Amino acid sequence: METKDIFERLRNGETISANDPQAYKMREAAFATKKLLLKMNCSADPDEIRNLLGQITGNEIDESVAVFTPLYINYGKHTRIGKNVFINFDCVFLDMGGITIDDNVQIAPKVSLLTEGHPIEAQERQFLIPKQIHIKKNAWIGAGAIILQGVTIGENSVVAAGAVVSKDVPDNVIVGGVPAKTLKTI
């Protein structure tokens, strides 16, 4: 019986053991991504930035997408970016579990999208638990917000600056705080 590729298992949300025989592939991929990130983060040309981000994600990035570098991504191939998306300075995407950003999303500076976590039990802490993040159409993620693994941000919703979002956000609301709670319906 052949073992599935580690990246397929990550994308499927499977926990990866600390001694997984394919774990080295995650580091190799991260260093390959870092080479492209160094070029992308040193560029001021929007077309070059989109081109390099396309190489990092393995998908064409629409010309309506604007990215203000630096942007930090640990893998890239599990990130999907829609049209008319704006990503501001200094964001962090840990995407081994998968990140989907739908059309018309705005992401403020210093936002972290973190699809990876670890077990609470000390003896298993080195294991990796990936879970997808999905940011639906027309959402706005405020400065310094942290979106944790497994979270969906609803359509038209706003995440207030500095919020830590650990649970799904419904459509058409404003959430804020640590942990984030619904503040208002819009």
Domain ranges within the chain, ordered by starting residue = 6-185
Domain topology for 6-185? UDP N-Acetylglucosamine Acyltransferase; domain 1 (2.160.10)
- Banded pLDDT at 146 (limits 50, 70, 90): very high
Mean pLDDT, residues 157-182: 98
In tens, the pLDDT along 56-105 reads 999 999 999 999 999 999 999 999 999 999 999 999 999 999 999 999 99
Q: Which of 89, 10, 75, 86 is nearest to 36 (CA)?
A: 75
In tens, the pLDDT along 12-26 reads 999 999 899 999 999
Mean pLDDT, residues 131-146: 98
User: Which one-letter DSSP state was computed for residue 156?
Assistant: T
Instruction: State how far the Cα of 139 lies from the Cα of 99, in Å rounded to an integer.
Output: 14
Is 78 a catalytic site residue? Answer: no
User: Which one-letter DSSP state was computed for residue 29?
Assistant: H
Mean pLDDT, residues 102-109: 98
* Residue 137 pLDDT exceeds 90: yes
Q: What is the pTM of this model?
A: 0.95
DSSP string, 95-128: -TT-EEE-TT-EE-TT-EEE-EE--SSGGGTTSB
Q: What is the per-residue pLDDT for 2? A: 56
Point out the catalytic residue in the list 118, 167, 181, 184. Answer: 118
In tens, the pLDDT along 20-56 reads 999 999 999 999 999 999 999 999 999 999 999 999 9
Mean pLDDT, residues 112-136: 96
Instruction: State how far the Cα of 82 lies from the Cα of 5, in Å rounded to an integer.
Output: 26
Mean pLDDT, residues 141-169: 98
* Residue 3 pLDDT exceeds 70: no
Q: Could you tell me the strand order of the sheet in which 112-114 lies?
A: 71-73, 91-94, 112-114, 146-148, 164-165
* Residue 11 pLDDT exceeds 50: yes
Q: What is the per-residue pLDDT for 28? A: 95
**For residue 60, which phi and psi values (nearest 5 degrees)?**
-65, 135
* Residue 1 pLDDT exceeds 50: no
Whether residue 109 has a cis bond before it, omega within 30° of 0: no
Secondary-structure breakdown of the chain: helix, strand, coil percentages, each rounded to the nearest 5: 20, 30, 50
User: Which one-letter DSSP state was computed for residue 16?
Assistant: B
